[in-house]
Amino acid sequence: MNINRPTLLVNKSIALGNIREMKHKSDESNVILRPHFKTHQSAEVGEWFRDEGVDKITVSSVEMAFYFAKHGWKDITIAFSLNIRELDSIKELSEEIELTVLISSVEHMEAILAANISKLYYFIKVDVGYHRSGLEPNQHELIKEIIAKQNEKLRFKGFLSHFGNTYQAKNKDDVISIYKSGVNDLLTLKEEN
């Protein structure tokens, strides 16, 4: 095999086993499995997830959302903070599927409202320690202001965080500590809002 550019090589049987295990764990825990498709970016691999009962996905760009919508996915979250320069494309896609975006400012909300999008869902991106993007959990007034701007066209789904600070963890106990701290922040926000 002559590989001369970045290429995804997958052991299908291992991947299918991992997908089944993730789906089983999510079902047992009564949580929604919304896998991120940014690594494989493949309609074929996406079908492996669908065959196991997954019907919601996450992607990392508007372009990727269009790709997977074209391949039959109807519930897609774009897991990067909203780029208001892409609102025309977001508006177009939101007319076809249940599209969810990440909001991290009042300006995002105002831009969406001004774009007159007929149906869009949003998570508020919360930074629980990775310090890459999102609102700090203690920005209570700003978070309340963003939630208050929802209406029948723009619907708040909840809070979303990326626990990327676990990448620097030295051991399992560090991972558990980071996880518990982040979940505590999110649960506090949920209770307050």
Hey, which residues does 121 pair with through a beta bridge? 100, 155
Could you tell me the mean pLDDT of each successive run of 10 residues in the chain, 193 residues long? 85 97 97 94 96 98 98 97 96 98 95 95 93 90 94 95 90 95 94 91
119 CB-side CA count, 13 A: 8
User: 158 by DSSP, 3-state: which?
Assistant: strand
CA 159 from centroid of its chain's CA atoms: 10
Q: What is the pLDDT of residue 50?
A: 98
CA 130 from centroid of its chain's CA atoms: 16
Q: What is the pLDDT of residue 49?
A: 98
Q: How far apart are CA 127 and CA 60, in angstroms?
A: 17
> pTM for this one?
0.91
Q: What is the pLDDT of residue 7?
A: 82
Burial of residue 77, with CB atoms counted within 10 A of its CB: 0-12 exposed, 13-18 middle, 19 or more buried: buried
Domains of the chain: 56-192 (3.20.20.10)
Q: What is the pLDDT of residue 2?
A: 86
Q: Using alpha carbons only, how large is the chain's radius of gyration in Å?
A: 18
38: nearest Cα among 70, 8, 72, 3: 8
